[in-house]
Structure 1
Amino acid sequence: MPYKDEKLHEEKVFKDPVHRYVHVNDRVIWDLIATPEFQRLRRIKQLGTTYLTFHGAEHSRFHHSLGVYEIIRRILENFADSPRWDPGERLVSLCAALLHDLGHGPFSHSFEKVFKLDHEQFTQAIILGDTDVHHILEQVEPGFSQKVADVIDKTYEDKLVVSLISSQIDADRMDYLQRDAYFTGVSYGHFDMERILRLMRPLEDQVVIKSTGMHAVEDYIMSRYQMYWQVYFHPVTRSAEVILSKILHRAKYLYENDYTFKLKPIHFVSFFNESVGLRDYLKLDETVVMYYFQLWQEEDDPILSDLCERFVNRHLFKYIEFNPNEQMNEWNELTQLFREAGMDPDYYLEVDSSSDLPYDFYRPGEEEERLPIHLLMPDASLVELSRHSDIVEAISGKKRTDHKLYYPADLVKKLSDDHPAKRRIAELLHLKQPYKGANNHAD
């Protein structure tokens, strides 16, 4: 029997808190799960620094990747009898679902921003490079790894396959909304996935939802909206991300200026030099990063030492509402006052902005062009979701943005009362009013 058609002697199952069970019957999928590259995902948290806000958020990219695979497996079971579905695309869909997050680095998006990396490019590099994952995929058939990489890259010729994994209603989002809600302990991310899956229909280049499932899709859209603002963009999580990025920037600065580290950053050198290769990338996970942060608390550089202590022990920055587009004068003044007070604003003052577009209609030719969700009407016509749903219409195409200014309240408080900068800093940071904290509670 060809490797691509080989089944396990008996079905393997993973017990899962979201989907109850993840079922594996294909030898290819089982072998991919066992690779070092996929097992590495156990050491990459799904939600980065969010565990410092919601203490249950310790789940990994490994969990999520299995979940996305399971959703795709179930969708394809439902498509099996449809003349619009090509069963020859089954294995490439399952493999792409399983491997779609393979290239995430430690603390994911925060890490990417600092070192100007793209996890999707590294996902494709792992799939196409000299890795166990690549060798397994090539056993399916020559060029199969390129097919899987093309699905990740959204350039695969069968757009229906791409839409299952990357669209405005895809298996990736359906898993992470429910999984992240479960592990953070919130209720926002729950929606009726069973109904959505049952009413999904394959078309030539996308999946659509029968019109009778519109309310379940509305619930999904609103769940996504709530999760982004209540969990993903939580200001305490963003405070931790700010400190994380400052640590990495400081370590890079010290390395470039020939600082003598007590613990040399050997795992970061290629990142600092912007010459990181696949081998170095795969060696770096969150256990390694946290090892450095733990020991860098003892460094002689006071900024690196302080920032690492803050991250490791959750002594986070406080925050206030602050719009840099409207408060540039205040920003410039604060920057100068922080310097006068001996607090380097490059590391102790930061404006962080978050924005989200919960649902978008079709905007051809625009950046990050998004295909809309279509409803399949009783007369077999297609209607774009926001044209049929008042709820979705109300939020379609509307980007919400939030700005916060982060600063170390403890260092401001330690300034002597007669310090010439302290009073004005306190006024600009509204410290005469009760300020919002980031140290004691999640909310």
Structure 2
Amino acid sequence: MQSSNMKLSEEKVFKDPVHRYAHVRDKIIWDLIGTKEFQRLRRIKQLGTTYLTFHGAEHSRFNHSLGVYEIVRRVVDDVFKGRPEWNEDERLLSLCAALLHDLGHGPFSHSFEKVYHLDHEHFTREIILGNTEVNQVLLQVSPDFPEKVAAVIGKTYHDKLVVSLISSQIDADRMDYLQRDAYFTGVSYGHFDMERILRVMRPREDQVVFKSTGMHAVEDYIMSRYQMYWQVYFHPVTRSAEVILTKILQRAKALYEENYNFKYEPRHFVSLFNEEVTLEDYLKLDESVVLYYFQMWQDEEDSILRDLCSRFMNRKLLKYVGFSPDKKEILSEQLSELFRAAEIDPEYYLAFDSSSDLPYDFYRPGDEEERRPIHLLMPNGELHELSRESTIVDAISGKLRSDHKLYYPEEILLDFSKHEKVKREILAILKGK
């Protein structure tokens, strides 16, 4: 019997606060969950620094990955099963891709990626195809199975229906993280009627579509996503923590390049500093490792690294004001000069941060970042793009919303023991925003 058809002698279940249970019947899935590369995801928070804003947001990418798997399992085992448009041979591939889609994320992933020029999608592929326990499990299915899984996650697999299950404008990935993140942050915005959405899902040759009778459930999903981005994901306090995190990583790298003598040698960071990160190096990094260094660097001789780490570990975050992007350049020049006059390094204590989101867009031939639209299946069998039928979705379609914040250390500026005149001038500019 091929491994792809092997079932566990007894179904395994994971108790889940969002889906109640995640069911595992396939031995391959059970074995993948047990690999050290997948278990590492327990030590990577799903929402990065958001726990410093919403104290309940301590859930991991392990939780989320199981949730995405469970949604796809329900779709392929309950919704699509027996339908002529669905190829049953793609079932296990879909489940594995769903489970492993976030495998390459690193600690505080987006900040790390930006500073050290990393790409979690690259490492996801490396883990799946490299000398890993995950790769050995996938090879039990067939010699080309790891490549297929990597292709689905990389959105290059030939069966676009399979790809759309975990990567589209309404997919299992988003449906899980919206509900999971809402649950753990304690907000009400991310909740929507997933049961109804699953009931009206239908497979088509190259994508999932939704019966028009379920349009209001899809609308609810779109609006939930819209609200979660602005109320949770782009929260200015979370962004303040990300600014400090980014500055710590930049400062540590700068000190290393200056041959600074660390009290606590950043051994796990050396390959990052040199931009020579191997898969073995990468897999040794998780948030417990990073936080250990931040904890120890609070005792460093370098005053900037010491202060930034203390701010992050003890939640002494930067304050913020809004700014107009067309004034960013002149503001940056003015404030940088004044910060230097006040002996405050603007490189590490002045930050301009912008966030933007496009809640829903429809396919426009020739546009960059083309997105596949959400289609409704009408009673006559025709497919209509969602915003053409929904006035709610039409109102936000293609509309990019942005938010701009300037971050600074208020308590340092309020200490007038040195450079009183300059600091008052800085505060006057900031309060004029």
Q: TM-score, normalised by structure 2?
A: 0.98
SS of 1:209's partner is strand
- Which residue does the alignment assign to 1:72? 72
Amino acid at match of 1:14: F
1:39 and 2:24 matched: no
Residue correspondence of structure 1 range 186-225 to structure 2 within 5 A: 186-225=187-226
> What's the CA shift for 1:117?
1.3
SS of equivalent to 2:399? coil
Residue in structure 1 matched with residue 232 of structure 2 by the alignment: 231
Report the AA paired with residue 89 of structure 2: G
Asked if 2 retains the 8 angstrom alpha-carbon contact of 1:341 and 1:415, the reply is no
Q: Does 1:172 align with 2:173?
A: yes
| Distance in 2 between residues matched to 1:282 and 1:224, nearest whole Å | 31
Give the AA of the match of 2:285: L
Q: Displacement of 1:324 after TM fit?
A: 3.4
Q: 1:322: Cα distance to partner?
A: 1.2
Structure 1 residue matching 2:22: 3-state secondary structure: strand
Residue 315 of structure 1 corresponds to which residue in structure 2?
316
Q: Secondary structure at the match of 1:326?
A: helix
Residue number in structure 2 paired with 1:48: 48
Structure 2 counterpart of 1:5: 5
Distance 1:199 1:221 in 2: 16
Tell me the residue number matched to 2:25.
Answer: 25
For residue 54 of structure 1, give the secondary structure of its aligned residue in structure 2.
coil
3-state secondary structure, aligned to 1:101 = coil
1:116 and 1:418 mapped to 2: Cα distance? 37
| Match runs of 1:41-440 below 5 Å | 41-77=41-77, 78-416=79-417, 419-430=420-431
How far residue 3 of structure 1 moved from its aligned partner, in angstroms, is 1.0
Counterpart amino acid of residue 48 in structure 2: G
Distance in 2 between residues matched to 1:302 and 1:194, nearest whole Å = 53
After superposing the two structures, state which structure 1 stretch, 361-370 or 246-255, moved more: 361-370
Q: 3-state DSSP class of the match of 2:327?
A: coil
Q: Distance in 1 between matches of 2:265 and 2:352?
A: 30
Contact 1:263 1:292 in 2 (8 A): yes
Q: Which amino acid aligns with 1:73?
A: R
For the residue of structure 1 that corresponds to 2:247, the secondary structure is helix
Secondary structure of the residue aligned to 2:143 is coil
Q: Is the 8 A contact 1:362 1:369 kept in 2?
A: yes
Distance 1:307 1:331 in 2: 21
For each residue in 1:68-108, what CA deviation from the matched residue of structure 2 results, as whole angstroms up to 9, or x when unmatched? Answer: 00000000121001000000000000000000000000011
**Equivalent pair of 2:342/2:418 in contact (CA under 8 Å):** no
Q: Aligned partners of 2:68, 2:330: CA distance in 1, in Å?
A: 47
Distance in 1 (alpha carbons) for counterparts of 2:397 and 2:325: 26
Q: What secondary structure sits across from 2:66 in the alignment? A: helix
CA distance in 2, matches of 1:429, 1:272: 34
How much has 1:2 moved relative to structure 2?
1.4
CA distance in 2, matches of 1:292, 1:417: 31
Tell me, in whole angstroms, the C-alpha distance in 1 between the residues paired with 2:138 and 2:367: 34
Question: Counterparts of 2:332 and 2:304 in 1: how far apart (Å)?
Answer: 21
Q: Aligned-pair RMSD on alpha carbons?
A: 1.1
Amino acid at match of 1:135: Q
The corresponding residue for 1:14 is: 14
**Distance in 1 between residues matched to 2:406 and 2:22, nearest whole Å:** 42
* Structure 1 residue 417, shift from structure 2 partner: 7.3
Pair 338,95 (structure 1): closer, same or farther in 2 beyond 3 Å? same
Task: Work out the CA distance in 2 between the residues paired with 1:360 and 1:20.
Answer: 32
Letter of the 1:59 partner, please give it: H
Structure 1 residue 323: Cα displacement:
2.4
Which deviates the most, 187-196 or 114-123?
114-123
Give the letter for the 1:319 counterpart: Y
The structural deviation recorded for 1:120 is 1.0
State the Cα distance separating 1:330 from its structure 2 match: 2.4
Q: Distance in 2 between matches of 1:141 and 1:345?
A: 55
Quote the Cα distance in structure 1 between the aligned partners of 2:252 and 2:419. Answer: 33
Verify the 8 A CA contact 1:159 1:206 in the aligned structure 2.
yes
Contact 2:342 2:419 in 1 (8 A): no
Whole-angstrom CA distance in 2 between matches of 1:156 and 1:23 = 26
Deviation at 1:363, TM superposition (A): 2.2
Match of residue 436 from structure 1? none
Aligned partner of residue 355 in structure 1, secondary structure: strand
SS in 1 for 2:68: helix
CA contact (8 A) 1:324 1:351 kept: no
Q: What are structure 1's unaligned runs of at least 5 residues?
A: 434-443
* TM-score (norm: length of structure 1): 0.96
Q: Deviations 1:206-243 (Å, cap 9, x if unpaired)?
A: 00000000000000000000000000000000000000
Cα shift readout 1:358-407 (whole Å, capped 9, x = no counterpart): 00000234332110000000000000000000000000001111000000
Give deviations 1:137-162, integer Å, cap 9, x for gaps: 01100110000000011000000000
Give the AA of the match of 1:250: R
- Aligned with 1:22: secondary structure? strand
* Residue type at the aligned position of 2:72: I
SS in 2 for 1:258: coil
Deviates more, 1:135-144 or 1:362-371: 362-371
1:266 positional shift: 0.8
Number of equivalences: 432
Measured in 2, the distance between the counterparts of 1:12 and 1:221 equals 33
CA displacement, residues 287-337 of structure 1 (integer Å, 9 cap, x when unaligned)? 000000000000000000000000000000000001232243222111100
Q: Which runs of 5+ in 2 are unaligned?
A: none
Shift of 1:418: 6.0
How far 1:416 sits from its partner (Å)? 2.8
Residues 418, 306 of structure 1: CA spacing in aligned structure 2 closer, same or farther, 3 A cutoff? Answer: closer
Letter in 1 for 2:59: H
- Which stretch of structure 1 is more off in the superposition, 79-88 or 323-332? 323-332
- For the residues of structure 2 that align with 1:401 and 1:130, how far apart are their CA atoms? 42
